[in-house]
Amino acid sequence: MKWLRAFFSHQFELSINRLGAFAVALVVTVATATALTVRHATGRPMSLTTILTVILLLIGMLWGLLQVAAYIDIVQSKKSPHRPPGSRLISFADFLFSKKINEQVFLPLVADWRTEYFEALKQGRTIKARWISIRYTHSFLLAMGISKVYSAFKGLLTLGRAAGK
């Protein structure tokens, strides 16, 4: 099966889901081929149209299964439990705020979040860890709102001073 793995890994990063989808498609293909052979053995000739239709159906089925498996892979990777808390919010804040504000406000907040979160997990208190995440998400969003208001106020103050000179 080395060649098969090499063939698929050329186009896809092989995973359990995709291998599973391929296995199902392979079983269906073999079963259909066997059924057709048996039918042919009974003496009834198969038309070219029937053969082409069956081949097209099998290719379509294999492709569809691989697509579903790839979609499941994407969904699972997004729900990965290994992603530390606050990662998405940090990326969001990185997009909205300057590097200085991120370093002074959001990164220390997430550092505290992770400290408390992993401390709770270490003690086996999963519900507390979830509650910490909820509380810090709220704190993060609050900090984002306050930071925006504060930077807008500072901007207005600078403009006012410049206009006063």
Partner 1 sequence: MVLPTITRKESVILELLSGGQEKYGLEMVEASGGELKRGTVYVTLQRLEDKQFVSSRQEARPAPEVGIPRRLYQITSLGERVFAARQAADAAFSGSLIPVGG
- Quote the least distance from Cβ 128 to partner 1, whole Å: 15
Told to check if 143 binds partner 1 by CB under 8 A, we report: yes
- Whether the CB-CB separation of 68 and 60 falls below 8 Å is answered with no
Report the distance separating Cα 140 and Cα 103, nearest Å: 14
- Quote the least distance from Cβ 143 to partner 1, whole Å: 5
Told to check if 155 binds partner 1 by CB under 8 A, we report: no
- Whether the CB-CB separation of 58 and 28 falls below 8 Å is answered with yes
Reported as type and span, the H/E element at residue 17 is helix 16-41
Told to check if 130 binds partner 1 by CB under 8 A, we report: no
Told to check if 107 binds partner 1 by CB under 8 A, we report: yes
Tokens of 103: 């370093």
Binding site for partner 1 (CB under 8 A): 84, 101, 104-112, 114-116, 135-136, 138-143, 146-147, 150
